[in-house]
């Protein structure tokens, strides 16, 4: 609830212009326009597409060549990801089994230290009955 209230009261988020000097002026303007609190004052998608940031953007061919260059085919990347996931599951299972075994060992060690003397237990039960009966009378 506090976060919602702060969102309404505080200024909208934005880029840290001192720290983020690597961003172009067009990008900073675009982000600032999109983060206006009042939705009615925000640019429409049509206006955004006409913004300088998108007008001066590189072609899709350039982007696909640059970004996808050297990237393994999707099927290959998916297979590698599945292999890593399987290895991680095996590792997690081994860790869990180790923890479970340690827990069982501690449990068994704790139980083995229990020492029940039947005569002592009978004496304690008798004393308990006497104290309960004595407190009633």
| Rounded Cα distance, 68 and 53, in Å | 22
Write out the chain's pLDDT in tens, 137 residues. Answer: 788 787 778 877 777 777 777 888 899 899 989 988 888 999 999 999 999 999 888 888 888 888 888 888 899 999 999 999 999 999 999 889 888 988 888 888 777 777 777 888 888 888 888 777 777 65
CB 19 within 8 A of CB 45: no
| Rounded Cα distance, 121 and 21, in Å | 78
> Could you state, in order of their start, the residue ranges of all structural domains in the chain?
2-112
Is the pTM higher than 0.85? Answer: no
Considering only CA atoms, which of 82, 20, 30, 75 is closest in space to residue 51? 30
Q: What SS3 state is found at 31? A: helix
Distance of CA 65 to the CA centre of its chain: 33
């Amino acid at each position: 609830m506090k976060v919602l209230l702060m969102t309404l009261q505080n200024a909208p988020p934005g880029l840290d212009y001192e720290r983020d000097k690597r961003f172009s002026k067009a990008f900073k303007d675009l982000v600032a326009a999109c983060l206006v609190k009042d939705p009615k004052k925000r640019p429409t998608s049509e206006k955004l597409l006409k913004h300088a940031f998108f007008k001066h953007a590189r072609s899709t061919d350039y982007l696909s060549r640059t970004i996808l260059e050297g990237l393994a085919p999707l099927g290959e990347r998916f297979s590698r990801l599945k292999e890593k996931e399987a290895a991680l599951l095996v590792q997690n299972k081994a860790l869990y089994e180790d923890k479970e075994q340690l827990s069982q060992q501690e449990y068994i060690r704790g139980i083995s230290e229990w020492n029940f003397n039947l005569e002592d237990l009978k004496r304690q039960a008798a004393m308990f009955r006497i104290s309960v009966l004595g407190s009633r009378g």
